Structure 1
Amino acid sequence: MMSSQTQFRHLKMQVQRKLAETLQLAENYFQRKFPVPTISYELRGVKAGVAYLQKNEIKFNRTLLLENSDEFIRQVVPHELAHLIVYQVFGQVKPHGQEWQSVMTQLFNLPADTCHQFDVENVQGKMFAYQCECQTHYLTIRRHNRIQRDKIAYLCRKCHEKLVFIVKINK
């Protein structure tokens, strides 16, 4: 049985291979070189990855990589790289607009999914139930603290009523 450190090192190498492979596809297609992005694994929360366009940097969620390695490497790595490629070729455009979608589908031959479907229970953190006139909303600890501490009000997008705290949800 592989230790979690050894498994993580192995997955990082697979991520690097996938990045190199998809970067090569982009370079061949656009007939230009692209700088290799800086990669880190310090992203927390429910996002699998985030591309920082101006920094040419991608942050990945280590926990979601470890728990969903095959699908993560197949889909999330090219997804985030596509954001950087699109920014370098087209400039500032809609994050999941037609340019990004065409890079995903035509160049990388992948579905242009904007969200992952991973189980986020282990990365989600505490949730807090809030009620409006029409439904229950589940907010993160960050939003809950903003409401409690900073007296920020959140409104329901459907009924436009203020959200009222009900209860903390235990994991």
Structure 2
Amino acid sequence: MATCLTRINQHYGSQLRLPLIRYNQRGKIAGSARLQLNEVRLNPTLLLQNQQEFLHQVIPHEVCHLAVYQLYGRVRPHGAEWQQMMRQVFKLAPHVTHKMDVTDVAGKTFSYQCGCKQHQLSIRRHNKVLKGTRYLCRGCGQSLVAC
């Protein structure tokens, strides 16, 4: 984390502060940046299983979010400023999502059907359906119905 911030500070001539690091990110998300708190949250399970990916992609990705916020204010999360920083400072393609195996962190899913295929809804969406929310298939436009 400190190495990433040093590279950004050298490139931009800035003195950005080292963020707080928490290992409490859950679910399929590898990491997230809490802009106003200057904090990075990392998924401990995915980190243990994908250490090199975290060092080379996830941590620079999240540190760039914090740096862009501190240098430019509120801008699009994966907008031009963030993409430019990823390319120029870290020589990385600015990927928005990771491709890590999430089998060990994936939550329970529930099967729903429409007119064209079967869908897997998260427990959060399933509970919303139970409370009356309707979801439509993007393919056929029909409502999803529990199997």
Count of residue pairs the alignment pairs up: 147
Aligned: 1:156 with 2:143: no
- Partner residue of 1:55 out of 37, 41, 60: 37
- The amino acid across from 1:154 in the alignment is Y
What SS class does the counterpart of residue 136 from structure 2 fall into?
coil
- The amino acid across from 1:53 in the alignment is L
Instruction: String of CA shifts for 1:55-89, please: whole Å, max 9, x gaps.
Output: 11111000000011111221100001111111111
Q: What TM-score comes out, normalization by structure 2 length? A: 0.94
Gaps of 5+ in 2: none
Q: 1:90 to 1:68 in 2, by over 3 A?
A: same
Work out the CA distance in 1 between the residues paired with 2:75 and 2:118.
34
Aligned: 1:78 with 2:56: no
Identical-residue share of aligned pairs (%)? 47
Q: What TM-score comes out, normalization by structure 1 length? A: 0.82
Q: 1:93 to 1:159 in 2, by over 3 A?
A: farther
Q: Over the residues paired in the alignment, what is the CA RMSD in angstroms?
A: 1.1
Return the offset for 1:133. Answer: 2.1
Gaps of 5+ in 1: 1-18, 167-171
- Partner residue of 2:116 out of 131, 134, 150: 134
Work out the CA distance in 2 between the residues paired with 1:90 and 1:162.
42
